[in-house]
Every structure is written in C-alpha cells, then in structure tokens.
Amino acid sequence: MKVWFITGASRGFGALMTKEALAAGDAVIATARNPETVTAQFGDHPNLLAVALDVTDEAQAKEAAAAGIGRFGRIDVLVNNAGYGLLGAVEEATAEEIEKLYATNVFGLLKVTRAVLPYMRRQRSGHILNFSSIGGYFGYPGWGIYGSTKFAVEGLSESMAAELEPFGIKVTIIEPGFFRTDFLSDASLAVSPASIADYQGTPAGNMRDFAADANHAQPGNPAKLAAGIMTMVDSANPPLRMPFGSDTIAMIEAQHASVAKELAIWRELAVSTDYSRDATAVA
C-alpha cells in the first residue's frame, strides 16, 4: 500500500487521483483549503485523511505532513497539484497578480515539498510528482506569466531529481496539455482585467477568446490522465517528464524541431565565443 499526499484534492486532477488511489487500496492524505469538500466526495474512508492546507502557508504545510505521518507512518508519493492559471499578455498583468500566482504555483509547491522531504529522506524512498503544463515547455501568447511559473517548476524539478537520487527519491514532472477540467473556468483561472487595446486582434488578445470558447471542449480526458499517473507511479523507472495528451506531444516535437533548426543556423556564432576559437588566446 502506498501513501499519497495530494494537494488540491477537492476537485479536478486532485480529486480524480484521490479516487484512483483509494480504489487501488492505497492511502491518501488529501489536502484542500476546506477539507470538508474532500470528505463530502469520498465519505469517511478508512484510508483517507482530509487535511486543511493552504499551500502558501508554510506552517500549515508542515502540520499537514506531520498529521499524515501520524496517521499512516510514511509518505510515498507527493503530488504537488494545487495551482491556478492567469490569462493575459505579460504587459497586462499587475505586480499583485504576478506575486499572488507565484505564491501558489511556485512558492507553495516549495513549501509543501520542504515539509514532506524530511520524511522521504528518513525512509530513503519516495516519489514527487510536480504538476507543470505544456505551458512550462513552450511559451504561449497570453499565458506568459502562468507559463513562467511552470517553467520554474520544471527547473526546480530537474535539479531536485539530481539532488534526491542518492536518497532513493524520484521526481517526475507532469505535463498536461488541454484537458476537460475546470481549469479554464473562474474557479481555476484568473483573467487580467487590465486589457490593453493594442493587443486586441493579436495572438495574446485572441487567446482570451480562445480560452472562453475552449472551456469544457478540450481534447484531454482527465480520468484517463489520473489512471495514467497510477500506471506511471507503479513503474520501476518512472520518467523525469511525463507529458499527457496528443496536443502536448505535438507541441514538444514542434519545439524540439524549432530549437534544432535555430541552433543549426546560429551554431557558428555560438561556438565562436570559446577561447579555443581565438588564435591569440594564451593557455
């Protein structure tokens, strides 16, 4: 039996992963700002501990981790799922909006991870799943600030994977594309109210209309993603990156091709800056 610690467990991917884990006979420390929203869905399950957690509160993160250890004795899988989106051009976002987004998507993830890692290091095992996005691999117009939080998650996760390997702790970055959750609804998406007229009709401005029209029409099936995560976690060698969705795969392949093409064009200038390319350089 694995013990899961899932943030944002009251809805979306978090609730679906909680359901899958409980169905598999695992235990779940399911966290949410209001834990009653968790128990309302799953009832008084013997393998479920619903805990109050605002990921921006470091003390509460430590209390939640300690409560989970007190109940189940260990934490095998940490899922940093809590987060939300911000739609608007980079210039349109206010400092307050940006700081609030980073407080949850980046600093909140770090606070929860630091609260759980001492227990994983002590048991010399564990698996951390950090939710990123295809927006953490490719910069979309209109999603620059949100995407930057996911780029941060990707970089942190890569470093943690190397740092934690000696302790038997694995790290996987979850990269969903567009899935039919409530992510594009008011519950999970903030839209910068400061709309600048110049951006109307540009890719950034058009993204506002696309997001409204795409809500609940996305190609990805959330239940299949949750089941896929269970399969991935059970594997002997889970990947560093786990993309989900055909749209994600297409964008990753296109991004790789674009980078390779640009590198080929500018390679000579790039390598010309080495000392070895300077005939007058002194060893």
Q: What is the pLDDT of residues 58-71, one digit of tens each?
A: 999 999 999 999 99
Question: Minimal CA–CA distance to 49: which of 26, 76, 29?
Answer: 29
What's the residue count for the chain?
Answer: 283
CA distance 39 to 16: 14
CA distance 133 to 259: 19
pTM of the complete model: 0.90
Structure tokens at 240: 């560093």
The per-residue pLDDT for 279 is 58
> Taking phi first (over 0 means left), then psi (-120 to 50 degrees means alpha), and beta for anything else, what does residue 88 get?
left
Residue labelled with tokens 């951390």 = 128
The per-residue pLDDT for 169 is 98
Question: Minimal CA–CA distance to 86: which of 217, 248, 173, 204?
Answer: 204
The per-residue pLDDT for 149 is 97
Catalytic residues: 132, 146, 150
Q: Which residues of the chain have pLDDT under 70?
A: 179-188, 211-220, 278-283
The per-residue pLDDT for 25 is 97
Q: Do residues 214 and 109 lie in contact, with contact meaning Cβ atoms separated by under 8 Å?
A: no
CA distances (Å), origin 247, targets 20, 178, 212, 223: 24, 7, 18, 17
DSSP strand pairing (3-6 vs 85-87): unpaired
Structure tokens at 6: 């899932």
Q: Do residues 74 and 125 lie in contact, with contact meaning Cβ atoms separated by under 8 Å?
A: no
Backbone φ and ψ for 184, nearest 5 degrees, come out as -90, 10
Structure tokens at 189: 């998406």
